Every structure is written in C-alpha cells, then in structure tokens.
C-alpha cells in the first residue's frame, strides 16, 4: 500500500514519456489550416512569360506540392505523385521553391512531370507565406480556396489511399 502511490506516479510518467517519444517534432501544426490559401502570382515554369495566381484556381480542388530539384526527399515521393497524376482526380500544382529554371526543367524531364502546372518561387517569398520549412510539403485546397490539410515531408506509400484520396473525394463533393 505504501508503494502504490509512487508506482502509480511512475506509470503515469512512463506513459507520458512514451507518448513524447512517439511524437514527431517536425510535425508542427500549421496555423494556416482552414484559412484562405495565401495569395501568389508567380511565373509558370514551362512558360515563364505567363503567370498563375491562386485566384485562377477558385472553384477547383487542388493540391499545392512544394518541390525543388535540390530536394532529396522530393525524389522519394515523386513516384507517388506520378501515380496520383495518372488517376487524374485532382489538379496538382507544383510550387518550385528556391530553384533555378534550367535545373527544375531538367529534373522534371528526367523524373517525369506529375504537375498540371508548376510555378516558380525563386526567392522563397511565397514559401514564407505558406509557412514552408521542410520541402517537400503538400497542401490540400478546396473549391473556395481554403487550405484544408497540410502534409510536411515526403508523401509516404499508403498516404494517398489513407489520407489524400478520401479527402479529395470529400472536397470534390462539396459545393463551391
């Protein structure tokens, strides 16, 4: 009986520490969730004389995938993005983050281009507006232009089926 209280305290502490170990310190909750997607108006990678703004995408469900040719873990998720593009269920917009025009185009021609369109954020200012800190990052944006989900780091095998596809389906069913 005398040892019961310390034992319970010890168990409680262990549980908290075990939970702490499992948390991912890179997973910082984004304050942008359920807020309108920050405005941008950036040159298109394929045709730099033209530009694209987030307002052009109103009425569509779209993914914003932040990528760069220098980003190693972008290679990891790339096959999954190509798979997603094949299914043709959602508009995939690339934010080419702090990259160079030639390097970015070369990367796409080598690895394959899953994006409907990529825009160039050469100086990283749009990245700051979207709170980007670890490339790759993926945002899901609904028909009203509101950010509904943010994924930090590479999209892993299984994430498409478990998270992205159900969410896209749900958002496609919503009215604009």
Q: Least distance to other proteins from the beta carbon of 128, Å?
A: 6
Residue with tokens 């670890």: 134
C-alpha torsion sign, points 85, 86, 89, 91 = positive
Q: Least distance to other proteins from the beta carbon of 147, Å?
A: 12
Q: Least distance to other proteins from the beta carbon of 36, Å?
A: 12
**H helices present in 57-164, as ranges:** 72-87, 101-111, 125-129, 159
Q: For residues 145 and 59, give the distance between their C-alpha atoms in angstroms, rounded to a whole number.
A: 8
Q: Least distance to other proteins from the beta carbon of 31, Å?
A: 4
Which CB sits closer to other proteins, 118 or 152?
Answer: 152
Burial (Cβ within 10 Å: 0-12, 13-18, ≥19) of residue 99: buried
Burial (Cβ within 10 Å: 0-12, 13-18, ≥19) of residue 9: exposed
Which CB sits closer to other proteins, 30 or 118?
Answer: 30
Q: Phi and psi for 25 in degrees, rounded to 5?
A: -65, -15
Which CB sits closer to other proteins, 114 or 154?
Answer: 154
Q: Least distance to other proteins from the beta carbon of 76, Å?
A: 18
Which CB sits closer to other proteins, 15 or 28?
Answer: 28
The residues binding other proteins (CB under 8 A) are: 25-26, 28-32, 98, 123-125, 127-131, 133-134
Q: Phi and psi for 11 in degrees, rounded to 5?
A: -65, -45
Q: For residues 114 and 116, give the distance between their C-alpha atoms in angstroms, rounded to a whole number.
A: 7
Which CB sits closer to other proteins, 26 or 110?
Answer: 26
């Amino acid at each position: 009986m005398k040892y019961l209280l310390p034992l319970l305290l010890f168990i409680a502490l262990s549980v908290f520490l075990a939970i702490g170990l499992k948390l991912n310190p890179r997973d910082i909750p984004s304050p942008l969730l359920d807020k309108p997607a920050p405005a941008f108006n950036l040159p298109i990678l394929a045709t730099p004389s033209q530009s694209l703004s987030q307002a052009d995408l109103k009425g569509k469900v779209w993914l914003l995938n932040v990528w760069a040719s220098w980003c190693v873990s972008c290679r990891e998720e790339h096959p999954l993005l190509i798979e997603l593009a094949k299914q043709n269920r959602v508009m995939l917009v690339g934010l080419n983050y702090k990259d160079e025009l030639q390097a970015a185009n070369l990367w796409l021609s080598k690895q394959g281009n899953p994006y409907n369109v990529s825009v160039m954020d050469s100086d990283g200012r749009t990245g700051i507006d979207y709170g980007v800190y670890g490339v790759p990052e993926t945002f899901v944006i609904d028909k009203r232009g509101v950010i509904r989900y943010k994924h930090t780091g590479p999209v892993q095998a299984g994430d498409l089926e478990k998270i992205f596809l159900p969410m896209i389906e749900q958002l496609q069913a919503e009215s604009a």
